[in-house]
Amino acid sequence: MTEPKPTGNPPQPEDAGRWITATIGGKGFRTDVTAGRHALVADEPVSVGGTDIGPTPYEHLLAALAGCTLMTLRMYADRKGWPLEGATIQLRSGRSHELDCEKCATEKVGIGHIQRRLDLSGPITDEQRQRLLAIADRCPIKQTLEQGIHIETVA
């Protein structure tokens, strides 16, 4: 007797396929973003007409990469039972979102290079440190950015 084949889609994590919603008003650049039950704000600096009440979209992108990298390191170290007591990441792109917005209708723009600094703390060995630095490159957001993303607009 053969087992029945599963029907339907396999279970997905809570955030898989979830819509992120963003709203902007009639003036200024403040954008209110909702991700599940979380509220975020994106904005531009005062110098370009924003209110600087939140990070720019490029800063949100770097924050996503930073968070994902550190979560990936924590999961790996915990799985291995390694004594990683903490980690700090610093990222910068050298690109200005507001300047890229001014050119985006006529030129290709975007972040082409990101610099990263990682500081790992705890009594980890040199071998563990090197492995964790390699694992940082396996973070899903980093892999996504490096392979590129197709964005489809649906009605």
Distance in angstroms (rounded) separating the CA atoms of residues 59 and 40: 12
Q: Can you tell me whether residue 91 is helix, strand or coil?
A: strand
pLDDT at 97: 85
The yes-or-no verdict on residue 138 having pLDDT over 70 is yes
Residue whose pair of structure tokens reads 């600094």 in the numeric block: 117
The verdict on 43 and 111 lying in the same domain is no
The verdict on 65 and 136 lying in the same domain is yes
Give yes or no for a contact between 93 and 39, defined as CB atoms under 8 angstroms apart.
no
The verdict on 34 and 76 lying in the same domain is no
Q: How far is CA 97 from the centre of its chain?
A: 16
Read off the pTM. Answer: 0.86
What average pLDDT does this structure show over 128-152? 96
Write out the two tokens for 56: 């720019």
Handedness of CA 61, 63, 69, 74 (dihedral sign): negative
The yes-or-no verdict on residue 7 having pLDDT over 80 is no
Q: Which domain holds residue 31?
A: 19-54
pLDDT at 8: 60
pLDDT, tens digit (0-9, with 9 covering 90-100), for 56-109: 999 999 999 999 999 999 999 999 999 999 999 999 998 888 888 888 889 898
What average pLDDT does this structure show over 36-45? 95
* Residue burial 90-104, b: 16+ Cβ < 10 Å; e: rest: ebebeeebbebbeee
Q: Can you tell me whether residue 51 is helix, strand or coil?
A: coil
The verdict on 101 and 115 lying in the same domain is yes
